[in-house]
Amino acid sequence: MKVVSLFSGIGGLDKGFEDAGFNVIWANDFDKYAVQTYSANYSNPIILGDINQIHLPDIPDSDVIIGGFPCQAFSMMGDQLGFEDARGTLFFRIAEIIKDKINKDEKPKAIILENVRALRTHDRGRTFKTIERILRDDLGYKVFVDVLNSADYGVPQTRNRTYIVCFSNSEAEFEYPEKKPLEVTLQDRLEQNVPAKYFLSDKILPTILSNGTGGYKAKSEIDLPVARPLCATMAKMHRACQDNYVTQNGKVRRLTPRECARLQGFEDSFIIPVSDSQAYKQFGNAVTVNVSRAVAEAVRKTLEDLGEWE
Ligand SMILES: C[S@@+](CC[C@H](N)C(=O)[O-])C[C@H]1O[C@@H](n2cnc3c(N)ncnc32)[C@H](O)[C@@H]1O
């Protein structure tokens, strides 16, 4: 089953699909550091470039298209309801790519898209309605949607994300993967002998540990057994009410990039060839591999039931 991966980042989504028996043949991202990490870890090609600038014929035909598209520009979609109205958004680019394949009689059998939880409620649900309408009415897919939490799939991180799963076959039945009780904690996934640079100085500690102020009041808690969502701006070190801090040997520290990798389901063999600040961004942006794998296995089952798995 050939897969084209869009907005591939460091391939969290791709890895899950590969593990489930799919074959990623082409990937793309416009961030050179993400492409560096991706290339160090996967054998399939990844093209560095803005997806809006890549010529449609240069994107190979495939059975499946996957993409954790950035949530930028949803506001542009506002009240609108049709294909033309999503123009200028990255979702529209995905739709254009699919439309081009349909015009060539190479309609992908399945499309899997990942996004933030708020996608479904943004602009009182209108943004998602537009996306759903385009996938269903303009592109002819049967559309399923659910929010999955990474902590329900074996990693100690609360991370709720929207997974949109679409099939070209109108007979398709799809069950989202079953949740499993979490058997590990963040503490189980910590590294030992961590370099001093990850520990907080006495000077910064009070600021980090103070509760949120002003419009943003939140409780400062460290040593959580299930981590808060990793985010793309982790390199900046947020307060403890928004970020993850742990106590080790009586001192408080931030998570290391390797620990962030583990919390996103990447094995320790995953090569991190970039600076810490790039690594934090990449793991904060990634799709949790465990969730991707579980979704990919469920997609595979549907394709097998339809007799479409090759
Ligand atoms: C949420 S991340 C996807 C993470 C990825 N699925 C993973 O599991 O690692 C979104 C990615 O889209 C990329 N991106 C954003 N705009 C893009 C564009 N116009 N063309 C290509 N890539 C883009 C970003 O660099 C980022 O890596």
- Average pLDDT over all residues of the chain: 91
Residues 106-137 as b/e (b if ≥16 CB within 10 A, e otherwise) read: ebbbbbbbbbbeebbebeeebbbbbbbbbbee
* Fold classification of 186-284 (topology level): DNA Methylase; Chain A, domain 2 (3.90.120)
Q: What is the pLDDT of residues 217-271, one digit of tens each?
A: 556 789 999 999 998 888 887 888 889 999 999 999 999 999 999 999 999 999 9
Strand, coil or helix: 58: helix
- The radius of gyration of the chain's CA atoms, rounded to the nearest angstrom, is 20
CA atoms in the 13 A half-sphere facing the CB of 50: 4
Separation CA 248–CA 137 (nearest Å)? 54
Structure token digits, residue 155: 């990693």
Q: What CA–CA distances, in Å, run from 288 to 14, 110, 219?
A: 10, 20, 26
Q: For residue 74, is pLDDT > 70?
A: no
Q: For residue 51, is pLDDT > 60?
A: yes
Order of all β-strands in the sheet with 64-67:
46-48, 23-29, 2-6, 64-67, 110-116, 160-167, 142-149
Percent of the chain at pLDDT exceeding 90: 77
Percent of the chain at pLDDT exceeding 70: 91
Q: Quick check: 227 and 158 in contact, CB under 8 A?
A: yes
* Test site for ligand 1: of 30, 33, 117, most ligand atoms within 8 A of the Cβ: 30
Q: Which atom of ligand 1 is nearest to the CA of 29?
A: 22
Q: What is the mean pLDDT of residues 106-128?
A: 89
Separation CA 32–CA 304 (nearest Å)? 37
Separation CA 24–CA 102 (nearest Å)? 20
Give 235's DSSP letter.
G
Q: In terms of DSSP bridges, do strands 142-149 and 64-67 run parallel, antiparallel, or are they unpaired? A: unpaired
Distance 245 CA to ligand 1 centre (A): 27
Say yes or no: CB of residue 46 within 6 Å of ligand 1: no
Q: Quick check: 200 and 274 in contact, CB under 8 A?
A: no
CA-nearest residue for atom 25, ligand 1, is 31
Q: What is the pLDDT of residues 128-177, one digit of tens each?
A: 888 999 999 999 999 999 999 999 999 999 999 999 999 999 999 999 99
Strand, coil or helix: 278: helix
CA-nearest residue for atom 7, ligand 1, is 286
Q: Which residues are catalytic?
A: 71
Q: Quick check: 136 and 142 in contact, CB under 8 A?
A: yes
Specify the pLDDT at position 121: 84
Q: For residue 75, is pLDDT > 50?
A: no
Q: What is the pLDDT of residues 193-216, one digit of tens each?
A: 999 999 999 998 888 888 655 555
> Where is 145: in which H helix or E strand?
strand 142-149
Q: What is the mean pLDDT of residues 267-293?
A: 97
Q: What are the residue ranges of CATH 3.90.120.10 in the chain?
A: 186-284
Q: What are the residue ranges of CATH 3.40.50.150 in the chain?
A: 2-178+286-305
Q: For residue 276, is pLDDT > 60?
A: yes
* Fold classification of 2-178+286-305 (topology level): Rossmann fold (3.40.50)
Say yes or no: CB of residue 18 within 6 Å of ligand 1: no
Q: What is the mean pLDDT of residues 21-40?
A: 98
Separation CA 286–CA 130 (nearest Å)? 25
Specify the pLDDT at position 97: 97
Distance 77 CA to ligand 1 centre (A): 20
- pLDDT category at 86 given cuts 50, 70, 90 is low
Specify the pLDDT at position 87: 55
List the beta bridge partners of residue 66.
5, 112
Specify the pLDDT at position 220: 74
